[in-house]
A and B are shown apart, each in its own frame.
Chain A
Amino acid sequence: MSATAENAAAAGAGQNQAFLSCRDMHAYYGESYIVQGMSFDVPEGGIMALLGRNGAGKTTTLRTIARAHEPTLKQGEIWLAGQPLHKMNANKAARAGVQLVPEDRRIIPGITVEENLIVAQVAPGTGWSIEEVYEHFPRLAERRRQDAVTLSGGEQQMLAVARAMAREVKLLLLDEPYEGLAPQIVQEIERIVEHVKSLGITTVMVEQNAIAALRLADTAVIVDMGEVAYQGDAQEVLDNKELREEYLAV
């Protein structure tokens, strides 16, 4: 209760009690000013689509929330369920429940599929057991002893999501999970994202395929040149042709 109160207080009077609340984030890669004062909220258990053109700053936004060493957050606050993520580094944020599934998947090479999962369970705060992961991803079970780099693109994406689910996740950040995957695999990942939602986990999803992302999402944020250009219902973006043409080119 006090955590929620703290969150609300930090977010300012009159704000809704968002699960993830980003307040006036300014983030830099060295001298390059990339995230230029973004604020948005994500309600608990929802899926938010984070959309925008190439280079708009979507990946940078996710990395800022996950508290990567770079970009540096020079100003602003990020609250997750009452916890001040802006005061944490990446490993603390991960223990607070943030899981980033990066755009290039970042499967660790040179170790097996199973070892990639084991590594996810070293730090305190674990989620699905390895056996549970295999129940959800039978294909990974078949390949558990293989070097993880021998997996196909789709399998690597599944492993990346599975690795996140092997931790206790409160906020799942998906960066272009469909990129380069065949439609069949995309459907499989979509089902997983829906399942994650049914578990009550909050998701922020960046996707080039805006239509696909919006179909799944409850809310949407459109980023343009490091600023929030739109924030609202996902359905509204689907219905608003002008908005889509201006910022998403679809």
Chain B
Amino acid sequence: MSVNDVFLQLVTGLQLGAIYALIALGLTLIFGTLGVVNFAHGALYVIAIYAAVVIGGQIGFWAAVILVPLLLFVVGILMERGIIQYFYDRPHTDQILVTFGLALVIEEGAKAIFGANNIPYPIPDWGTGQMLFYGTGATIPGVPRFEEMPQVWMPFIEGMLFYPSWRIILIAVSFLAIGGLFALLQFTRFGLVVRAGMRDSEMLRFLGINITARFAIVFGLGALIAGIAGVFGGPITQVTPDVGMHLLVPSFLVVVIGGMGSLPGALLSAMLLGMALSFSAEYSAVQQIVIYLVAVVVLLVRPRGLMGKKGVLE
């Protein structure tokens, strides 16, 4: 494998990992606070991509960037307050059934409105091209097609190579969103209360905090992140009603591998899975099962996942 191949596969791994991370962080955040495995989380992504297509097509892409995450925040809070809150005292199986049922309703609803096939996503012009990476000794041909591309110089690259701009944008936006989420949790009072609540929600109630209300906001935040994933991930994952389910399974594995309820764990394991998928792409037989292989190996060595804490889901 040449240096260029390794670089391309690293970037692809990051891009795959970024989408899984956005979905898995929402899942693990909701699980860590509310103790619910939200099987409707993939369906939130479905709502987001269709909302992005509609709003992007009607008003414009930047409107979708702002409105879709906000819409998903509201949808998340309505979902939690309207349905899921009534299942906290019920067995996990009931929670799985109700969230899975919700996912099916949303998927079928999308199918009824938009059909089962992929519909085109209106990517803005500036996001449609390629990005050019070049190394020492590379001479960029004096053709306008090349000169107008966004260009990045990387000393280790041999000659030059191209990568779709939109995927780079997706990686950048994902890391911004993830950074924002971590900053919110780490550096704000709201974040402190949520982190404390993840460890001992009852004690926070004894200290006068209405932790239920904050956890509903957390649910909304998880949905908001799925909204960001939908706006930027739609063109890559396709816009179909069943894409939510396709994302949910690997994202759930990401959560388990990372350790249920652990945000850094989810991020780490999303990247691990992204890389595993990317570097096994040449061997399609392996790629089909590679995420399960990673899951088996990690869970054999660390039954609580990479960064799982004692007592969670035990």
Contact = CB atoms under 8 A, between A and B. Distances in A.
Interface string A92-127: 001100011010001011110001101110111100
A89 B207 contact: no
Interface in B202-253: 202-211
A69 B202 contact: yes
B195 A102 contact: no
5 contacts: A90-B202, A111-B192, A111-B196, A118-B192, A120-B207
Contact of B204 (A89, A102, A110, A119): A119
Given A91-B209, A109-B199, A123-B207, 10 more contacts: A91-B206, A91-B210, A99-B206, A102-B203, A106-B206, A115-B192, A116-B196, A119-B192, A123-B210, A163-B207
A124 B203 CA distance: 16
A12 B199 CA distance: 42
Nearest to B211: A91
A66 interface: yes
Contacts of B200: 106, 108
A108 B207 CA distance: 12
B145 interface: no
A18 to B, nearest CB: 23
B193 interface: yes
Contacts of A94: 205-208
Contacts of B205: 68-69, 89-91, 94
B72 to A, nearest CB: 27
A108 B197 CA distance: 9
Nearest to B212: A91
Interface in A27-77: 66, 68-69
Interface residues of B, number: 17
A119 to B, nearest CB: 5
B90 interface: no
Contacts of A69: 202, 205
Nearest to A94: B208
A167 B196 contact: no
Contact of B202 (A68, A95, A99, A125): A68
Interface in A6-28: none
Interface in B124-155: none
A100 B207 CA distance: 8
Contact of B208 (A95, A106, A110, A118): A95
A95 to B, nearest CB: 5
B189 to A, nearest CB: 7
Contacts of A122: 189, 193, 207-209
A100 B200 CA distance: 14
Contacts of A163: 207
A108 B192 CA distance: 11
Contacts of B209: 91, 119, 122-123
Nearest to B209: A123
Nearest to A160: B203
A119 B189 CA distance: 8
B85 to A, nearest CB: 13
Q: Which of B206, B210, B211 has the most CB of A within 10 A?
A: B206
Contact of B206 (A90, A110, A118): A90
Nearest to B204: A119
Given A91-B208, A119-B204, A125-B208, A110 B199 contact: yes
Given A90-B202, A108-B203, A119 B210 contact: no
Q: Which of A66, A100, A108, A163 has the most CB of B within 10 A?
A: A108
A125 B193 CA distance: 17
A167 B203 contact: no
A167 B189 contact: no
A115 B196 contact: yes
A111 B207 CA distance: 16
B207 A118 contact: no
B311 to A, nearest CB: 10
A167 B199 contact: no
Contacts of B210: 91, 123
A102 B206 contact: yes
Q: Which of A91, A94, A167 has the most CB of B within 10 A?
A: A91
Contacts of A68: 202, 205-206
Given A91-B208, A119-B207, A120-B207, A110 B202 contact: no
